[in-house]
Amino acid sequence: MSQADAIRVAIAGAAGRMGRALIEAALADPLLTFSAALEMPGHPALGRDAGEAMGLSTGVLLESDIESVLEKSDCLIDFTRPAATLASLAHVRRMGKAMVIGTTGFSAEEKQQIADAAADVAVVFAPNMAVGVNALFKLASVAASILGDQFDVEIIEAHHRHKVDAPSGTALRLGEAVAQALGRDLASVAVHGREGVTGERDTMSIGFHAIRGGDIVGEHTVLFAGLGERIELSVRSSSRLTYAQGAMRAVKFATSQPPGLYDMQDVLGLH
């Protein structure tokens, strides 16, 4: 594919930790062109090369004008915060671009806004873009279907000290996958942490436990605990590049699809 034919990718929050990983992944993919970098108004790095913090010269300057960013791009990748993501999504919808959303922490109402926008544009929305993690979603669902109600389910996740939401979107998606396989309503059976005299464990419950500390990139374990045996399915991410590389696959998928709401299971053909 020639440079002229490459998919033009814009990255929101480009000066942040995840933004830098996304830039690195976009630059490494021969089918993509890193075309624009978006940051919040007033950010001290605005006007500088988006690769400066990594010692790179990309020729792409950090800017805060979302419309200018989208005019130069076919798809926007956004791993920022819910309010910023939804504001960008409104522009994406109006300008008919594709979008890949890795932001977590949305409310049910905010998720509905994403679904509404997907009536007009292609949106890949997933709590975790890493290919290994999405394999875990599938494996957890299959395991739950096999093991049934005889095994208690606990989900343990760990992230760095800067993560602002808990449990992680990935942990919740794992809970959804298990609950669906077991025919349970996650909202009714989820238990978040335990303290004090909690009484005997409800066999239908699905437990969640969040660890925050240091620079942990991301770790997730689904524990199926039965009588006499225990199964643990785990994935540990040592670099944000795993998420970024998955996001590049999502970009290539989104820009080839009609309007609709997709997830990484669609991107990877795991449904």
Residues taking part in catalysis: 159, 163
Neighbours of 167 (CB within 10 A): 21
- Which DSSP helix (H) or strand (E) runs through 133? helix 131-147
Please, what is the end-to-end C-alpha distance for the chain in angstroms? Answer: 29
- Tell how many helices (H) and how many strands (E) occur in the chain: 9, 12
Name the E strands within the chain: 7-12, 32-38, 62-63, 75-78, 98-101, 122-125, 152-159, 190-192, 206-212, 218-225, 230-237, 260-262
Buried b (16+ CB within 10 A) or exposed e, 121-134: bbbbbbbbbbbebb
Residue with tokens 């033009």: 8
